[in-house]
Amino acid sequence: MMTEQEMEDRGLIEAGHMFRCSRAEKAHEGGEKPAVFLSENDKRRADWHGADWTDKNGVVHHMLLCPECHRKLLAIQATHQRDMYEFENEGIL
Ligand SMILES: [Zn+2]
């Protein structure tokens, strides 16, 4: 996972305090893109996560994820992990 400094370096946290989810409004329950101003010591900063992924062309994509989207990402990662494990071990298990 990315540190807050890395998120800032990538421009994901605007002006150091503005957290705006990278995903579209429609990707969220209620159809609104979460955007919150969180001061330096606000514990809710820990609920936001930077995430990188690399596409098949080797292009790295940077995202800042709100708590809702981060939960979805973890579910996708768990599914992918299970699929890859089954793929690697097909015929053995
Ligand atoms: Zn989101």
Residues 29-63 pLDDT 10s: 999 999 999 999 999 999 999 999 999 999 999 99
Let me know if residue 9 belongs to a domain.
Answer: yes
82 alpha carbon to ligand 1 midpoint, in Å?
24
55 alpha carbon to ligand 1 midpoint, in Å?
20
Q: In what order do the strands lie in the sheet with 18-20?
A: 13-14, 18-20, 35-37
26 alpha carbon to ligand 1 midpoint, in Å?
10
Q: How many domains does the chain have?
A: 1
Residues 6+ apart with CB under 8 A from 36: 18, 19, 44
Let me know if residue 76 belongs to a domain.
Answer: yes
- Domain residues for the domain of 18 are 4-88
Whether residue 14 is predicted with pLDDT greater than 90 in this model: the reply is no
CA pair distance 25, 84, nearest whole angstrom:
31
Specify the residue for token string 């089954």. Answer: 86
Of 23 and 16, more confident: 23
pTM: 0.85
What is the percent of the chain with per-residue pLDDT over 90, rounded to a whole number?
83
Let me know if residue 61 belongs to a domain.
Answer: yes
> Which residues have CB atoms below 5 A from the ion given as ligand 1?
21, 23, 66, 69
34 alpha carbon to ligand 1 midpoint, in Å?
6
Let me know if residue 93 belongs to a domain.
Answer: no
For residue 60, with 0-12 CB atoms within 10 Å meaning exposed, 13-18 middle and 19 or more buried, which class applies? Answer: exposed
CA pair distance 86, 30, nearest whole angstrom:
36
